[in-house]
Each structure stands twice: as C-alpha cells, then as structure tokens.
A and B are shown apart, each in its own frame.
Chain A
Amino acid sequence: MIAHAIFFYTFSIIAVVSAIMVTASKNTVHSVFFLILDFISISCLFIMIGAEFLGMIMLIVYVGAVAVLFLFVVMMLNVAQQKNQWFAGQSTSKHIPVGLIISTLIFFEIIIVIGGWKYKPEIFDINNSLVNTSVSNTHSLGQILYTDYIHVFQISGMILLVAMIGAIVLTFRQRSGVKRQSYIKQISRERVEGVEVLEVQSNKGVKIDD
C-alpha cells in the first residue's frame, strides 16, 4: 500500500506542477512539453486505478497524436518571438482582469456542477457496482458502450466526422495551374506514345518541345 501511495503522490504532484508550468513557462514549446508530461502522468494515474484501457487510449490519442499536432503548430512560430507575453510583457497586463473574471466564472460553474451532482446510492456499494470484476475493464467498457449507450456513442462519432469534414472544407482551396501527378496515366503509358524516332537532317535539326 505504501508503494501505491508513493506512486500516486509522485504522479499527481507531477501532473499538478506540469499543469501549472503549461501556463507559467515563457517558452511556448516548453508549455507543450509540459502538457505532454501532464497527459502522461494522468494516464499513469488512470492505470493505477485499474483503468488501463483509458490510460493507454489517453497515451495514444492525446500524447501520440493531438500533442504532436500542437507541437507541429507551435514549433512553426518564430523562435525569437517565443516569449509567453502573459507574464513577461507590460503591454498585455490589461488582459489579466478579463482572464481572472473568466477563470473565476468557470471555477464556480465547476463547483456548482460537481456540488449538485447526485450519485445513485447503490454506486457506493462495491458488490452492486456496474463494474464486473471478473471481466477486464476493456470488455466491460465495450459491453456498456455498445449496448446501453450505442446511440450516444454513434452520435459522438458522427459529430467528430462532421467536425473533420468541416475543417477540411474550410481550409480546402482549389488552386489553378498546379500540375498533378496521375499514377494511372503514368503506368498505362506505352512505348508507342512516349517514344518517337525522327530523321534528323543535317543543319536543320528537329523541333521536339511542342
């Protein structure tokens, strides 16, 4: 149990500290690296409470894909301007009150939501809980997602699909004058179309590029 507690506190302290450092560090790329550290320590916490599937999915989706795209964008910023202006600059300090107001609002909203949350009384009874200990948690997640919540699950998938198509449509632009490679055309070319043997007459030459 002691080892469990040590690991729990290590991971949670790393998670909290790196979450603070995401906003506090002056270099934006460092912020993203702290965000990744945060994701990793939270997935470790997931694994510690026995939710190994969620922990691994967290690693694959957030750390393996989302954070890579974050880094991809942030790295493109000019290295010389990579100072987080929030804490450094005097000129931007007028944004601080607005930020404080928004964050206090969100804080109280979270308190209201969590405080008003009503649990089913049988959830606290371990014998009666939804989790079936004889089945691995991947199986039980699948059994719940694909039976009771199948519609919600499918709708969330559709929303993601719509968001993806929307992003593609918004950023897609057709440029004219771009030469595109057509693989079928290249492969299906015969020698007859590609090669032409010409008689070259002395002092006259041939015109080839038309």
Chain B
Amino acid sequence: MEYLSIVFQEVYKILFLLVPVLVSVAMIVWLDRRVWAFVQKRQGPNVVGPFGLLQSLADALKYIFKEIIIPSSSNKVIFILAPIVTMTLALIAWAVIPFSATQVLADINVGILYLFAVSSLGVYGIIMGGWASNSKYPFLGAIRSAAQMVSYEVSIGVIIINVLLCVGSLNLNDIVIAQQKMWFVIPLFPMFVIFFISALAETNRPPFDLPEAEAELVAGYQTEYSGMMYAMFWLGEYANILLMCAMGAILFLGGWMSPIDVYPFTLVPGAIWLILKILLLFILFALVKAIVPRYRYDQLMRLGWKVFLPLSLIWVVLTASYLFYFNLLPVN
C-alpha cells in the first residue's frame, strides 16, 4: 500500500506538469502562427474561439478523426514507434526543469546533462520515421536531420561547458541560483546568440528546417505520416522547441529568478517568470521563422562546424582563463 500511495503521488505530480505543458504546446502553435501572420501583415488564425485561441484544439480534433495510413512497404513497427519516441522524448525532458527553488519534479545532480542527453536523443524519432517510411523524400530528410542535429549538438555542448565553468554544478537549480547577481546573458552574450541559433538548428526550425524543406522534400520525414501520428510528430516538435526555450531561459536568462531583486517583483511566483522568459525566447523563434530565408545545406554545415564550434571553443578558453586569473572559479 505504501508503494501504491507513493506511485499515485508521483503520477499526480507528473500529470500536474505534463497537462500544462501539452496545453501550452497547443497555445504556442497558435502564437507561432499569429506572430508569423503579423510579420507578414496578415491576420492569422482568428476565427475559432476568442482571437482564434482554440484553433489548435480544432486542428487536433481534425487530426484525431482522420484515418491513419500506414504504407504497405513500410517497416510497420518502427513506423509506428517513431512519433511515439519523438513525443515521449520531448515530454520526459520536462521532469528536470525547475519552476522555482522547490517546484521541480526531479531535482537531480546532473540535470543539465539529462536535458542535453534527452535533446540529443530527439534525432531518433526523425531517423526512425524517415527510414521506416521506405520512401525517397522521408529518407533524404532523415539523413539531413541526422547530420544537422549531431553537428549542432556539439556546439550546444560546448556552450553548456561555458555556463558550467561559471556555475561549478550540473544541477539546474544551482545554475539558476548562480545567476542571482548577474544573468549569464550579459557576460556570455556571444554564447547566448550562438546557443539561440544552434537551438533553431537543433529543433529544425526555419532557417534550418532542411529536414522538411517543402520545396525539395515534400515534408521530409513526415511525408508518409497522417492523422494522429502526424499530429504527434507536430506536438513533439513544438514541445522540443519549448524545451529549448526553457533551456535557454535557465542557462542564460536566470530561470525562475525575477529580473529585478526588489520587493514587488519577488512576490511574483518563479513559475510565472520562467514562463515569461520562455515566451520571450519563443517569440524570437517565431520572428526568425518569419524573416529569415532558408539556408543551403552546405552553408548550414559550414556554420555549425567552421564558425560555431571554433568560436564557442575559443570562448571556453577565454572564460576559463578569465575565471582562473581573477580567482573567480567556483570551488566547493
């Protein structure tokens, strides 16, 4: 019985985290389309519900009632597993995101490594979907995304090392608390820019959406998917984007900390600040989608390996020497 009550408690906590995440994913899709429309001087979805807020729900309802088509020459088990893997990986990463000093589902020692590991596993959903479809366009999309995500992960890893040098801990709450005096976006501003661009590439957002470049590859790895399975890819993708925004907010924008450490601002709960920061980063993501044209594939690879990787490595040396010279290294 004791076990059961513990299990129920955990399930309750997990639901309390996941349901808001899923709802905000639906809202964020709407926000993405609205921002995109406003940049292009259109209205965007504004019919279903107030300001079109329920548009995503209507879309989801449509997807649920559509037929799921499984191509006869596909590898059926892996074909069905692929969207499940994408969705699961996008959701389990939220377990370590701290919403305040105490509100975190799993306050583990190696939180940032866990986030990095889960986001690097995200490529499997795409590869599995692309390969199992047994069709040209999904396969090309999968191969492109495998190369792209592995390359940009490297620079994200090096950027995380920069932050860790200043913190001295892999725990996400420690990372947030270390930014009490100054957000890391100020001393590490070039790293924040590189992180932002790498996050765009890691989540296959425009201008790096080559795995699903519609002009060349129909819809990339999603070409053969339909109905709810397509919707799961789509949900997983947006959950991943939100996750990358949360990661950026925690690493560089002070996580759940209020921007000014003065009385009326500290009353606002940490979760609200974190959500506001995530939203800020997401609106930047959406603006980039609206204003920047797509990269060519070789340019994308060059940017990852020849520009971002050396730059972030040089910055690691700079940060480490600065901290060492001024005796600021966090030793505990």
Q: Point out residues on A near B: beta carbons under 8 Å.
A: 3, 27, 29, 33, 36, 52-53, 56-57, 59-60, 63-65, 68-69, 71-72, 75, 79, 136-138, 181
Contacts and interface: CB of A to CB of B under 8 A. Distances in A.
B114 A56 contact: yes
A18 to B, nearest CB: 14
A171 B139 CA distance: 25
B120 interface: yes
Contacts of B110: 52-53, 56, 138
Contacts of A3: 3
B139 A65 contact: no
A75 B113 contact: no
Contacts of A36: 124
B146 A79 contact: no
A65 B120 contact: yes
Contacts of B113: 53, 56-57, 60
B150 A29 contact: no
Contact of A79 (B116, B120, B134, B143): B134
Contact of B146 (A71, A136, A138): A71
Interface string B96-114: 0000000000001110011
Nearest to A64: B120
A52 B112 CA distance: 12
Contact of A33 (B3, B78, B134, B150): B78
B123 A68 contact: yes
Contact of A56 (B75, B117, B127, B150): B117
A36 B110 CA distance: 21
B319 to A, nearest CB: 17
The binding surface of chain A is classed by DSSP as: helix
B209 interface: no
Counting chain B residues whose Cβ lies within 8 A of the other chain, the interface size class is 20 to 34
Interface in B131-154: 131, 134, 139, 142-143, 146-147, 149-150, 153
Contact of A65 (B131, B150, B299): B150
A52 B117 contact: no
Given A52-B109, A68-B149, 16 more contacts: A29-B78, A36-B124, A53-B113, A60-B116, A60-B120, A64-B117, A64-B120, A64-B123, A64-B150, A64-B153, A68-B124, A69-B150, A71-B127, A72-B146, A72-B147, A137-B109
A128 B146 CA distance: 46
B170 interface: yes
A68 B117 contact: no
Given A52-B110, A68-B127, A72-B146, A60 B117 contact: yes
A29 B131 contact: yes
A68 B150 contact: yes
Nearest to A40: B121
A63 B121 CA distance: 7
Nearest to B116: A60
Interface in B276-320: 298-299
Nearest to B73: A79
Contacts of B139: 75
Nearest to B112: A56
25 contacts: A3-B3, A27-B75, A29-B75, A33-B78, A53-B110, A56-B117, A60-B116, A60-B117, A64-B117, A64-B120, A64-B121, A64-B123, A65-B120, A65-B150, A68-B146, A68-B150, A71-B127, A71-B131, A72-B147, A75-B127, A75-B131, A75-B142, A79-B134, A138-B109, A181-B299
